[in-house]
Every structure is written in structure tokens, then in C-alpha cells.
Amino acid sequence: MDGYIGIIVIVALVAVLAVGGLFLLFRPKAKDLPSVQTPPEAPAPEVGERAAPGLGEQDGGTTTTLPPPAEELVKAPEIEVPPPSAGRMVRLRSRLARSQNVLGRGLLELLSRDRLDDDVWDEIEETLITADVGVAPTRVMVEELRTKVKVLGSRSPQDVRRLLRDELLAQIGPELDRTLHTEAPGRPAVVLVVGVNGTGKTTTSGKLARALVGDGKKVVLGAADTFRAAATDQLQTWGDRVGAGVVRGPEGGDPASVAFDAVAKGIADAADTVIIDTAGRLHTKTGLMDELGKVKRVIEKKAMVDEVLLVLDATTGQNGMRQAQVFAEVVNVTGIALTKLDGTAKGGIVISVQRELGVPVKLVGLGEGPDDLAPFDPEVFVDALIGD
């Protein structure tokens, strides 16, 4: 019995060894085994980026985000130091002379002819009307010139130049007070800027703020043209560039409320001047005119309006005159800012607008540059028209 058991154990042991040997003989080699891909290590998130969610973490889970480096932070706009307003008109004289030669030099050429007959005087009249001097002022000028030419008798080039200079200067009115009221005792002066969209009203507001900052004044801008988001953003840019405060409201908000808040900020900040840019939709809209009157009344609950500046496009001619008359009926316009006077022969609008409104031109825009707004100087203007 014991012998059988021993034989069975031996047979079983041999069988196990045989199976093991077969396994070793026929097992697959390492190169035949399928490769097991090890997932690549996730790259570390770059600074300022959100880390990818980990295993078992839902997107949107709490992940620590590193702050961006200092050099990548949004920098505040660099505040510029504008040049003072004094002397700007003189510096821009050459540009004005190039753009206005049709009016001044055209008249010089006609008046210098040997014989001034009715045909020549008709040409002189046509030149003045084309330059937007206006029909009534043109007739006055022609009559004055004809009388003075007869008195002179013989005319040298110097006589003709002096004659024309004196007449243009007399029509423009050197005696008019062209002071821009941007200072008030004990409070900020308030300048209300009005005019039709497209005349350069918002740009004029920004350039005026820039000029005043250049003169050492503290300025607050009020973006009361709440119907045009672009106007508000544009005024904000002008203010940021020179460090002027800007008060703005929601798009489509109440313009009078913005104007009131701007004046309040000017008083709180002890500013020298508050400039309010108003809406300028079509001047034929009664609603706009009523709204403009409301803005002025609301401002005057806080402070007096010291200057109402009407911005006119010099290239619009007599249409600009109609605009001026409509605005003058609603608010007491105290001064004119003529824009786009560069590149045009229509400088005669200076004469016609002053004659019709009895309001002086105080500022002129002579280009697209930020410092191309200048206080109007009649003598520099006339000298530029007729050349040296």
C-alpha cells in the first residue's frame, strides 16, 4: 500500500514538472507582449493659466491659479504733459495760410488788376460768397472796397494788401471779447459744449481739456452724450491721456444727471474747469433742443454755466449757420469753436457766423492732431489768409 502511494506522488511530481517545462518552453517573448502605454505626465500649467482638472476632479473644481507676473499686468495709461495753449495759433499759421489761399490770395489777385471794372467786382463778390462770407457781409465788403479803391487812386501791391487786410480785419471784429471763460472765483468754471454730431464736438471737448491741462488747470469732463457709447469712450480716452477726471453714465441714461454729477465732482475735487459734452443729434429735433435746455437748467442748480461753446464744422457753410441759429435759440451761446478749418477755402464763415449771431469765434481747429485746437487770433488769421 505504501509503495502505491509513493508511486502516485512521484507520478504527480513528474507531471507538475512536465507542465512547468512546457510553459517555459512556449511562453511569449518580451518583444511579443503588447506594450503598456504610461500616460504622459501632464505639463505644469503656465503662470496665470487655470490648472487642468485632475483624476476624479470635475472641471470647475477648486484649483489654485497663480497670478500673472508683474510685467503682464495691464498698465495704467501714461499721462501726457500737453503744451500750453499760448502761441498755438501762430505755430499753425503756415498750415492756415496753405489752406485759405483761395479767399485771401484770390482777392489780392483780383484787386491788383490794372483795371477794376464791374466784371472784376463781380468776381470779387463771387469769391467772397464762395468762401462762405455770406451775402449781406459780402455786399458790405464790396462797397467798402470800391470806395477805398477810388480814394486811393493808384494802387501799389503794398496798398492793395494793406487795403484788403484792414477790410477783412474790420469784418472779423478785432474788438470782440474772445476770452474763453474757463476760470471762476471760488468754484470750477462750467463750459457747456453743444453742436450737431459730426462737427467734432467730442473731439473739441477733449482737445480743450488737453489745452487747459497744459496751462496748469485741473479739469473734469462730463460725458453727457449718453446716446452714443462711442462719444463716451472717446471722451474717456481724452481724459485718461492727460489725467482729467471723467464722469459718465449708463448708455441711454439721463444726460442732465451726468452733467450734474460732473459739476458736483468738479466742486468736490476743487477742479478749475468742468467741460460738459452734450448730445448732438439732428438740430431739427425739438426733443434734443428741449433736452439741451434741461441740461443747462439742471447744471445751474449746482453752479452757473460760464461758457456755452457752439462747435461748427467750417466746411458746412450756410448749413452751419442754420445750426448755429437753432442752438442759439435754446441756450445762450457765448462763443464759437470752428473745426475742420484746415484744407478748406471756406474761412469766410468766421465773418458770417459772428455777424449773424453777434457771438465771437473763440477757438479754431486746424488739424487732426491733439494740439491743433487754438485760441482764435483775428490778426494772425487775416495775415495767414493774404500771406506775407
pTM of the full structure: 0.75
Torsion, CA 190, CA 194, CA 200, CA 205, rounded to 10: 10
Contact 204, 314 (CB under 8 A): no
Residue-wise pLDDT tens digits, 202-240? 999 999 999 999 999 999 999 999 888 889 999 999 999
Closest residue by Cα to residue 100 from 127, 136, 125: 127
- Name the strand (E) or helix (H) holding 9: helix 2-26
Residue-wise pLDDT tens digits, 249-283? 998 889 999 999 999 999 999 999 999 999 876 55
- Name the strand (E) or helix (H) holding 296: helix 286-299
Q: Is the pLDDT of residue 99 over 50?
A: yes
Is beta strand 373-375 parallel, antiparallel or unpaired with respect to 361-365? antiparallel
Arithmetic mean of pLDDT, 134-150: 90
- For 187, residues 6+ apart whose C-beta sits below 8 A from its C-beta are 267, 303
What pLDDT, on a 0 to 100 scale, did the predictor assign at position 371? 87
DSSP of 151-172: HH-S--HHHHHHHHHHHHHHHH
- For 38, residues 6+ apart whose C-beta sits below 8 A from its C-beta are none
What phi and psi, each to the nearest 5 degrees, are found at residue 190? -110, 125
3-class secondary structure, 374: strand
CA 239 vs CA 11, 205, 255, 265, 321: distances in Å: 103, 10, 18, 14, 30
Q: Which residue has the higher pLDDT, 379 or 288?
A: 379
| Residues paired with 245 in a beta bridge | 220
Q: HEC states along 201-266? A: HHHHHHHHHHHHHHCCCCEEEEECCCCCHHHHHHHHHHHHHHCCEEEECCCCCCHHHHHHHHHHHH
What pLDDT, on a 0 to 100 scale, did the predictor assign at position 150? 86
CA gap 133, 154 in Å, rounded: 27
Residue with cell 472765483: 185
Contact 219, 209 (CB under 8 A): yes
DSSP of 115-149: ---HHHHHHHHHHHHHTT--HHHHHHHHHHHHHHH
What pLDDT, on a 0 to 100 scale, did the predictor assign at position 190? 98
pLDDT-derived band at 32, boundaries 50, 70, 90: very low
